[in-house]
Chain A
Amino acid sequence: MSQSENERFNQSPEAGAVAPCWSCKQPVAARALFCHSCGAVQAPGQLDHFARLGVAPGFDLDLDRLEKQYLGFQRAMHPDRFVTKTAKERAIAEQQAVSMNEAYETLKDPLRRAAYLLERAGTTAAVDKDQTVHDPELLMEAMEAREQLSEVATIDDLEKLQVEAGAKAIDLISQLSKAFAADDLDAANRAATRMKYWRKFLEESRARRAALEDAL
């Protein structure tokens, strides 16, 4: 971890939290995997996904670093390392692995990461709610795209639509980045919803492609 990253990381509220070790009762940092007094593996505490994987919180993530951190932690919790330990420690290591997995799956995907950041900031993302939206601009765009997709007759034309949709989805990543940088949660929420719509489009376009190929 670089100096500045370390500083930012340590500012996350959970980073400094301390709790007693379940085994020897000595204080251990909430994000520590092992007790530095007795070496016992520690249960996953109430840690934020960023703190859990030891990366600075925010939308712009260094994905290579995220993966490295995750793989390193996963290795430390690998069942092979716990064969000679007690059943309790094996169970704790497994819980740790599950929590890390969840943190990693959430953070590596830009849409899930955005929804998580919104949740963390106190607003549930529209994509996480069962509520209807009325945003005409967004819905008109989605409707038109899906209409085009349903009318497309050749694989060539379909691929053009897919390329356009892919570019839109990528552009939305930078919109999300800007929105979070400016602390504009409404804009971030909206961009996340649009991304969800383009993803659904891409999903449908693959089904459409299969149908067109079958018809050949």
Chain B
Amino acid sequence: MAYSEKLLDHYDNPRNIGSFDKNDGGVGTGLVGAPACGDVMKLQIKVGADGRIADAKFKTFGCGSAIASSSLATEWVKGKTLEEAEKIKNTEIAQHLSLPPVKIHCSVLAEDAIKAAIKDFRTKQGSKDKAAE
């Protein structure tokens, strides 16, 4: 199978590998897995005071396509509002990396990880707001 240059680039030089402290109030963590292959992906966002995603990190134990998808996802979410980031579709990721059809579920993992991270951040904000009331 021939992989695209963009995919290989993200695979060989993954961007934003690492972790933030998941207990940090400004951090949202998305942890998702694909039971079909037994792989797991963590994507974290750090939201600034302006409500935009200031930084993002990921850690993926999975195939090359999953690593590239999550690496790309961390680049794409940066600078976006939560509403904008939420709109990122796995099809855009798959298209950008020219993923073969059998690897589409790996990009789905990245989309779901972004959504899960945003949800986690909002849940934390919600409980903070409640505490402040």
Which of A129, A143, A201 is the one whose CB lies under 8 Å from B42? A143
Tell me the smallest distance from the CB of B123 to a CB of chain A, in Å. 12
Which of A130, A139, A146, A193 is the one whose CB lies under 8 Å from B31? A139
Whether B36 and A128, one on each chain, are in contact in the complex, defined by CB atoms closer than 8 angstroms, is: yes
Whether B32 and A132, one on each chain, are in contact in the complex, defined by CB atoms closer than 8 angstroms, is: yes
A15 contacts chain B at the CB level, 8 A cutoff: no
Whether B40 and A132, one on each chain, are in contact in the complex, defined by CB atoms closer than 8 angstroms, is: no
B61 contacts chain A at the CB level, 8 A cutoff: yes
Counting chain A residues whose Cβ lies within 8 A of the other chain, the interface size class is: 20 to 34
Whether B36 and A127, one on each chain, are in contact in the complex, defined by CB atoms closer than 8 angstroms, is: yes
Residue of A nearest to B61 (CB): A146
How far apart are the CA atoms of A129 and B35 in the complex, in Å? 7
B89 contacts chain A at the CB level, 8 A cutoff: no
How far apart are the CA atoms of A175 and B101 in the complex, in Å? 35
How far apart are the CA atoms of A133 and B37 in the complex, in Å? 12
Tell me the smallest distance from the CB of B75 to a CB of chain A, in Å. 21
A138 contacts chain B at the CB level, 8 A cutoff: yes
Q: Mark B19-44, 1 if CB is under 8 A from A, else 0.
A: 00000000000011111111110100
Whether A142 and B40, one on each chain, are in contact in the complex, defined by CB atoms closer than 8 angstroms, is: yes
Whether B33 and A132, one on each chain, are in contact in the complex, defined by CB atoms closer than 8 angstroms, is: yes
Tell me the smallest distance from the CB of A190 to a CB of chain B, in Å. 10
Whether A133 and B35, one on each chain, are in contact in the complex, defined by CB atoms closer than 8 angstroms, is: yes
* A residues near B112, Cβ cutoff 8 Å: 132, 134
Whether A135 and B61, one on each chain, are in contact in the complex, defined by CB atoms closer than 8 angstroms, is: no
* B residues near A204, Cβ cutoff 8 Å: 61
B116 contacts chain A at the CB level, 8 A cutoff: yes
How far apart are the CA atoms of A200 and B37 in the complex, in Å? 7
* B residues near A128, Cβ cutoff 8 Å: 36
Whether B35 and A127, one on each chain, are in contact in the complex, defined by CB atoms closer than 8 angstroms, is: yes
Please list the residues of chain B having a beta carbon within 8 angstroms of any beta carbon in chain A: 31-40, 42, 59, 61, 105, 108-109, 112, 116
Please list the residues of chain A having a beta carbon within 8 angstroms of any beta carbon in chain B: 126-136, 138-140, 142-143, 146-147, 150, 193, 196-197, 199-201, 203-204
Q: List 27 A-B contacts (CB under 8 A).
A: A126-B35, A129-B35, A130-B36, A130-B105, A132-B33, A132-B34, A132-B108, A132-B109, A133-B32, A133-B33, A134-B31, A134-B112, A138-B33, A139-B31, A139-B32, A139-B33, A142-B61, A143-B40, A143-B59, A150-B61, A193-B35, A196-B38, A197-B38, A197-B40, A200-B37, A200-B38, A201-B38
Report, nearest first, the 4 A-B pairs whose CB atoms are least far apart: A200-B38, A146-B61, A126-B35, A132-B112
